[in-house]
Amino acid sequence: MFNILINISKSVWYLLLEMSPYLLFGFFISGVLNLVIPREKIYKHLSGNKISSIIKASLFGVPLPLCSCGVIPVAAYLRKEGAGKSSTVSFLSSTPTSGIDSILATYSLLGPLFAFIRPIAAFFAGILGGSLTGIFEKNSKEKIKPTNNNSCNICNNDKLHSHSLLEKVRYIFRYGFIELIEDSGKWILIGVIIGGIIGFIIPGDFIEQYLGNPFLAYPIMLLISIPMYICATGSIPIATALIIKGMSPGAGLIFLIAGPATNTATLAFVSGKLGKKNLFIYLFSIIITALLFGLIVDFIWKTSGKDMNLITGGMEMLPMWLKTLSAFIFSGLMFQVIVKNIFSKYFVKNKEIIDMKGNYEVQDMTCKHCVNTIEATLKNIQGIEKINISLKDKLVQIDGEYDENRMITAIQKSGYSIKKRRINEN
């Protein structure tokens, strides 16, 4: 038993070595993108159901490091700011399946073919979903008046101001190496551990027999991935382990596309905010994209004579010291998040709900990024003296002499729904 654990640990460590340099670089680039691309520059281009808005929504979505959880409040805000249903579906389809961090991590483990095809597939999914929505919504007369919100990405303050270089650098590192890792690190860790277990325990001939055949592998991967929650980066080590064991590369791509793009939270959002018809369009677009590009990957791979260089990680040029250092840094960041979560869960539990003046329920607050966004928004509301946010209870508590209507409007502009709640409600 001890030897099995040792061998699994070695397999997990190998995956960490291969992914960590690209993950760290991807998290840094994600922080830079989040700083330099003002949200309003995105929102103002996505109104209506025009093909240009659909293309822009898909293009914006491909590099953004948002998982299918984090993309929900952004998509909700897009709607509030005037984005059409087609643009919103396009953004929802392209964003969680890609991201600059996952593109780099894909190259690290799965090589150039997957790294090239994956963002193209994400862009195609956005165009397909948005176009189909536009066709079925062409007679819609909806008009959503955008708000004049020019809030700063760093502090959410909508007044004219500036930040020092040091503040910008701090924001980049806080967003890239704290917030993003808090949101996606758990799923990356789960993916790496599952990948390590698959790599050691499951026999290669078993995978090759049952998942080497696309006619079996494709529907199995769809059935597994559609209800599953996993981030774009966390899905990579699982797909890698299965492909190494003999699964069709195309089936691996299906998992990489459908897994991050679909889960119960995203599907419920699409159904509730955009309608059941658009939910069907969204699912149809993801499934068709996954199947089509799965076939393309298998075709290219077979045409090349099953050249393993196409689906083998591109990390060979990096020295071992850099991979090892990166793995230790990433492990340290993950360890910090784990310790913080354990401390919050077991040592500050009695402070999650306290006696404060205003108590508000925010049901679509789903992750640490949501908490940080709401907290930053509230800090800019005049009169608010204390803020207590419980993610577990979906509860925002506020003390002070503040304008409640202004506070509610600010939260809604951030992409979240909010309503008053009595403290004794469950």
Residue by residue, DSSP assigns 105-169 as HHHHHHHHHHHHHHHHHHHHHHHHHHHHHHHHTTT-----PPP-----TTT---SS----HHHHH
Are 260 and 231 in contact by the 8 Å Cβ rule? The answer is yes
**Where is mean pLDDT largest: 62-76, 191-205, 279-293?**
279-293
Task: Kindly provide the b/e burial profile for residues 160-193, where b requires at least 16 CB atoms within 10 angstroms of the residue's own CB.
Answer: eeebeeeebeebbeebbbbbbbbbbbbbbbebbb
Residue 142 confidence class, pLDDT cut points 50, 70, 90: low
Please say which residue of 270, 299, 329 terminates a domain. Answer: 329
- pLDDT higher at 417 or 348: 417
Rounded CA-CA distance 31/426 in Å is 37
**Where is mean pLDDT largest: 75-89, 108-122, 140-154?**
108-122
For residues 36 and 85, membership in a common domain is answered with: yes
For residues 169 and 296, membership in a common domain is answered with: yes
Q: Is residue 408 predicted with pLDDT exceeding 80?
A: yes
Residue 338 lies in a domain: no
Residue 425 lies in a domain: no
For residues 58 and 173, membership in a common domain is answered with: yes
Please say which residue of 297, 329, 361 terminates a domain. Answer: 329
The pLDDT of residue 287 is 94
Residue 76 confidence class, pLDDT cut points 50, 70, 90: low
The pLDDT of residue 81 is 57
The pLDDT of residue 148 is 46
Residue 340 lies in a domain: no
Report which secondary-structure segment, H or E, holds 361.
Answer: strand 358-361
Residue 334 lies in a domain: no
Q: Is residue 424 predicted with pLDDT exceeding 80?
A: no
Q: In what side-by-side order are the strands of the sheet with 384-390?
A: 384-390, 395-400, 358-361, 419-420
Q: Is residue 254 predicted with pLDDT exceeding 80?
A: yes
Please classify residue 424 by burial: count the beta carbons closer than 10 Å to its beta carbon, then call 0-12 exposed, 13-18 middle and 19+ buried.
exposed
For residues 377 and 314, membership in a common domain is answered with: no
Which residues form the domain of 386?
Answer: 351-420
Residue 37 confidence class, pLDDT cut points 50, 70, 90: low
Q: Is residue 89 predicted with pLDDT exceeding 80?
A: yes
For residues 316 and 373, membership in a common domain is answered with: no
What's the mean pLDDT in 217-224? 88
**pTM for the predicted model, two decimal places:** 0.67
Residue 405 confidence class, pLDDT cut points 50, 70, 90: confident
Mean pLDDT of the chain: 78
- pLDDT higher at 284 or 70: 284
Residue 142 lies in a domain: yes
CATH of the domain at 414: 3.30.70.100
For residues 266 and 380, membership in a common domain is answered with: no
Residue 271 confidence class, pLDDT cut points 50, 70, 90: confident
For residues 403 and 272, membership in a common domain is answered with: no
What's the mean pLDDT in 333-360? 70
Please say which residue of 329, 363, 391 terminates a domain. Answer: 329
Rounded CA-CA distance 122/118 in Å is 6
Residue 353 confidence class, pLDDT cut points 50, 70, 90: low
What's the mean pLDDT in 197-205? 70
Q: Is residue 87 predicted with pLDDT exceeding 50?
A: yes
For residues 272 and 123, membership in a common domain is answered with: yes
Residue 342 lies in a domain: no
For residues 321 and 364, membership in a common domain is answered with: no
Question: Where is average pLDDT lowest: 98-107, 177-186, 387-396?
Answer: 177-186
Q: Tell me the pLDDT tens digit for each residue of 334-343.
A: 888 888 777 7
Q: Is residue 350 predicted with pLDDT exceeding 50?
A: no
Are 123 and 91 in contact by the 8 Å Cβ rule? The answer is no
What's the mean pLDDT in 207-226? 81
The pLDDT of residue 285 is 93
Question: Where is average pLDDT lowest: 143-157, 285-299, 380-394?
Answer: 143-157
For residues 37 and 176, membership in a common domain is answered with: yes
Rounded CA-CA distance 417/158 in Å is 20
Residue 83 lies in a domain: yes
For residues 286 and 385, membership in a common domain is answered with: no
Report the number of distinct structural domains present in the chain. Answer: 2
| Beta strand 419-420 pairing with 358-361 | antiparallel
Residue 426 lies in a domain: no
